[in-house]
Amino acid sequence: MMDLFAKRSHGHVDHLTQVKAWVRELMDVSPNAAVLVTELRCTEPGCPPLETVIAILEDAVAPRQYTLHRAVADVTRQDIADSAAPTRRG
């Protein structure tokens, strides 16, 4: 069972903040948008043990959601750039 209230290391929080900054930089996110980054465990067959879900919530724009099949700690700037490429607004 996952403990939703378990304390995270300072390094985890720092990387989570960095991932959010990359999302804002690379995914054309308005300053007022909410960027949510969540690490989830999956117990279904064929599912990676951890995945990172990124949600962008903006006024007057449909929510955007991206799933990366890796833990938050393993997410790189390039992962965010690759996710942004097909959806970048022009």
Is residue 70 situated within a structural domain? yes
Dmax over Cα atoms in the chain, in whole Å?
43
Is residue 23 situated within a structural domain? no
Is residue 10 situated within a structural domain? no
Predicted confidence band of residue 87 (pLDDT cuts 50, 70, 90): low
As a dihedral over the C-alpha atoms of residue 54, residue 76, residue 51, residue 28, rounded to 10 degrees, the angle is 10
Is residue 52 situated within a structural domain? yes
Residue-level pLDDT at 4: 47
Q: Average pLDDT, stretch 31-59?
A: 91
Is residue 27 situated within a structural domain? no
Q: How many domains does the chain contain in total?
A: 1
Is residue 12 situated within a structural domain? no
Is residue 45 situated within a structural domain? yes
Is residue 4 situated within a structural domain? no
Task: Write phi, then psi, for 48 (nearest 5 degrees).
Answer: -65, 150
Q: Which domain holds residue 73?
A: 32-90
Predicted confidence band of residue 51 (pLDDT cuts 50, 70, 90): very high
